[in-house]
Amino acid sequence: MTLFIAAGVMLLLVGWFAGEPVWTALRRARIRRQPFPPEWREILRRRVPYVRHLPADLQLQLKKHIQVFLAEKPFIGCAGLAITDEMRVTVAAQACLLLLNRRRPGYYPQLRQVLVYPGAFAVDRVHADGSGVLQEQRLALSGESWSQGQVILSWQDTLDGAAEPADGQNVVIHEFAHQLDQENGAANGAPWLPRRARERWAQVLAAEFTRLQSAVDAGAPTLLNPYGATNPAEFFAVASEVFFEQPQALAGEHPALYEELSRCYRLNPLSW
């Protein structure tokens, strides 16, 4: 009986330190103990070449995260698309890169479902023109992250982003960076960080955002996608793409930004 009580207390402590209910921690631990399916390993090999460059410990960690993610997040096909394991694993592998080395990975707690279209999907947006008149505009998007709990992706753009792991463009990383940003409210380019790190983050990101805006206004070439000059939330998502896919270039041209992203993601891709 004493041993049973001690074990129960230990499980409660584990759940408390993990920031999740004990039953959730137990269920996730059980999922992580399961063997990684060989067919999923083959999908990673074919569709997500980025994974093979990770150190062995991060590859193992990523696979465990993929297992939990896919056990918890439903995928819904849109416009007649039938969801396959290839789609699920390819998306999950890239989304879970952002969770590596986190003591409390969380697995995107606000995310309720992932919607996948065959290709770019159309959305209607209302915006103000130069004179302040509101106009409706139809846009073709490759991805979108909603604070209501959905990530929407183009499967073709997901494939393209994964196939070339060094081009600095990855729609899954982009949209799931938004999800991290939205965990503490509306996306504003300030994901959750320890209190002591927030002031430095705000200073560096504001300076780099202004730098990108100035370069875009001047028509100068930029490492970061000009779309990042739209607002701080898009800047964080664009910078996250480049951090994972072009770390050498980012560290060389924007060392302070690279350092902040390295602290945020608890990773140093330069060492891979």
Ranges of H-type helices in 18-76: 22-33, 38-47, 56-72
Q: Which pTM does this prediction carry?
A: 0.88
pLDDT of residue 4: 43
Contact 104, 81 (CB under 8 A): no
With a CB cutoff of 8 Å and minimum separation 6, the contacts of 63 are: 36, 40, 41
Q: Is the same domain home to 34 and 157?
A: yes
Q: Is the same domain home to 33 and 159?
A: yes
Q: Could you report the per-residue pLDDT of 207-232, keeping only the tens digit for each?
A: 999 999 999 999 999 999 999 999 99
Q: Is the same domain home to 132 and 195?
A: no
Q: Is the same domain home to 161 and 196?
A: no
Residue 254 to residue 272: CA distance in whole angstroms: 19
> Residue for token digits 């139809």?
138
Q: Is the same domain home to 26 and 136?
A: yes
Contact 189, 205 (CB under 8 A): yes
Contact 218, 229 (CB under 8 A): no
Instruction: Examine the pLDDT at 260 and tell me if it is beyond 70.
Output: yes
Q: Is the same domain home to 222 and 253?
A: yes
Mean pLDDT value across residues 159-187: 95
Both tokens of 143, joined, read 């991805």
Residue 25 to residue 176: CA distance in whole angstroms: 22
User: Is the residue at 137 inside a domain?
Assistant: yes
Q: Is the same domain home to 135 and 259?
A: no
pLDDT-derived band at 20 (thresholds 50, 70, 90) equals confident
Q: Is the same domain home to 89 and 195?
A: no
Q: Is the same domain home to 89 and 206?
A: no
- What domain range includes position 142? 20-165
Residue 185 to residue 242: CA distance in whole angstroms: 24
User: Is the residue at 124 inside a domain?
Assistant: yes
User: Is the residue at 228 inside a domain?
Assistant: yes
Q: Indicate the number of domains in the chain.
A: 2
Q: Is the same domain home to 61 and 29?
A: yes
User: Is the residue at 13 inside a domain?
Assistant: no
Instruction: Examine the pLDDT at 106 and tell me if it is beyond 80.
Output: yes
Q: Which of 143, 148, 145, 169 is nearest to 223 (CA)?
A: 169
Task: Indicate which CATH number applies to the domain containing 228.
Answer: 3.40.390.10
Task: Indicate which CATH number applies to the domain containing 71.
Answer: 1.10.472.150
Mean pLDDT value across residues 158-184: 96
Please provide the average confidence, as pLDDT, over all residues in the chain. 90
Q: Is the same domain home to 237 and 268?
A: yes
pLDDT of residue 137: 64
Q: Is the same domain home to 105 and 149?
A: yes
